[in-house]
């Protein structure tokens, strides 16, 4: 079951009113979008995007009652300016970015996002992307693999893991998530902790495949540029690299006088929510307002 992360905090932070025009840059399962639509009627409109066509398809049924007041579009939020121009929208009262992999994507075994299920290496949020996790693992040079695992996964065993991957694929391709996970476990000598030893490497490969940090930087800049005076931008991030981008962009825009930072420190999920929805445990929510 899809549970929208920090729903109450998101809705209160967006400061929604009837008639508002809002962008949900990552519709996912439609949980945030549904509550946004309820708050901006009568007369409001929501543009909801997702790079994953299956997420858009799942949300169509959930949001169908709002008819023309909700437009669902299969697009990466880095292209939100093109979408808004095509819809004739030149200003937003609020925009929401819920960054990262959705529960639907994780639970879809064939997508290859999860450590828990053995599936072909893929990890593409948008299946139209040309490079998948299989390509990264089987075709990248050792130095490039090491660099991306360190940069995007902050994995201290990056060089060793890259070496093990390259040596292993010399005997045959690494086709599945299970193969890669076992290989990483061997590389780090079965190191154990609070998270699976392969988590950081899987995260790094996923970020690389989807250019998540580049898309976040580009999309967030464009989203802010579309905000009208007193319009709010809310971002939920799930790891330090994402949060750092959001924090630094908000600070830079505050210095130039474009934004007022509402959350001096990021909001986090309550203990109750973290128990019910484990995905929310790592969530950080930041809010800024257009001056």
Q: Where in the chain is the domain with CATH 1.10.150.170?
A: 109-210
Contact 56, 130 (CB under 8 A): no
CA dist 187 and 71 (Å) reads 47
Length of the chain, please? 291
Q: Per-residue pLDDT averaged across 188-200, rounded?
A: 81
The pLDDT value given to residue 116: 79
The pLDDT value given to residue 127: 87
**42 prior amide bond cis, ω within 30:** yes
Q: Where in the chain is the domain with CATH 3.40.50.150?
A: 7-104+212-290
pTM of the model: 0.92
CA distances from 66 to 27, 48, 76 (A): 15, 12, 23
> What tens digit of pLDDT does each residue of 115-152 get?
878 899 999 988 899 999 999 999 999 999 999 999 99
The pLDDT value given to residue 109: 60
Instruction: Measure CA of the first residue to CA of the last residue in the chain; give whole Å.
Output: 38
> What tens digit of pLDDT does each residue of 250-273 get?
999 999 999 999 999 999 999 999
Cα dihedral 60, 42, 263, 76, rounded to 10, equals 30
The pLDDT value given to residue 189: 83
The pLDDT value given to residue 182: 94
Let me know if domain 7-104+212-290 sits in CATH 3.40.50.150.
Answer: yes
Q: Which two tokens stand for residue 59?
A: 């949300």
The pLDDT value given to residue 211: 95
Report the CATH fold assignment for 109-210: DNA polymerase; domain 1 (1.10.150)
Q: Which residue(s) pair with 21 in the sheet?
A: 45
The pLDDT value given to residue 278: 85
């Amino acid at each position: 079951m899809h549970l929208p992360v920090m729903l109450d905090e998101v809705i209160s932070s967006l400061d929604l009113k009837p008639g508002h025009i809002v962008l949900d840059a990552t519709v996912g399962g439609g949980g945030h979008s549904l509550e946004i639509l309820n708050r901006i009627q009568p007369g409001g409109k929501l543009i909801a995007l997702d790079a994953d066509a299956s997420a858009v398809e799942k949300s169509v049924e959930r949001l169908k009652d709002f008819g023309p007041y909700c437009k669902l579009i299969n697009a990466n939020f880095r292209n939100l300016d093109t979408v808004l121009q095509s819809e004739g929208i030149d200003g937003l009262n609020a925009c929401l970015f819920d960054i990262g992999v959705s529960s639907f994507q994780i639970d879809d075994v064939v997508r290859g996002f999860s450590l828990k299920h053995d599936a072909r290496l893929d990890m593409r949020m948008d299946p139209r992307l040309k490079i998948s996790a299989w390509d990264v693992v089987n075709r990248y040079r050792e130095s490039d693999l090491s660099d991306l695992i360190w940069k995007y996964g902050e994995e201290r065993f990056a060089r060793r893991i890259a070496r093990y991957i390259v040596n292993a694929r010399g005997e045959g391709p690494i086709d599945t998530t299970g193969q890669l996970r076992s290989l990483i476990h061997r590389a780090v000598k079965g190191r154990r902790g609070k998270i699976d030893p392969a988590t950081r490497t899987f995260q790094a490969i996923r970020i690389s495949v989807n250019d998540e940090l580049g898309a976040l930087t580009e999309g967030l800049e464009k989203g802010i540029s579309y905000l009208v005076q007193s319009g709010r931008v809310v971002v939920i991030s799930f790891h330090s690299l994402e949060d750092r981008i959001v924090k630094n962009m908000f600070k830079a825009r505050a210095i130039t006088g474009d934004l007022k930072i509402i959350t001096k420190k990021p909001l986090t999920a309550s203990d109750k929510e973290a128990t019910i929805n484990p995905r929310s445990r790592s969530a950080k929510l930041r809010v800024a307002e257009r001056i």
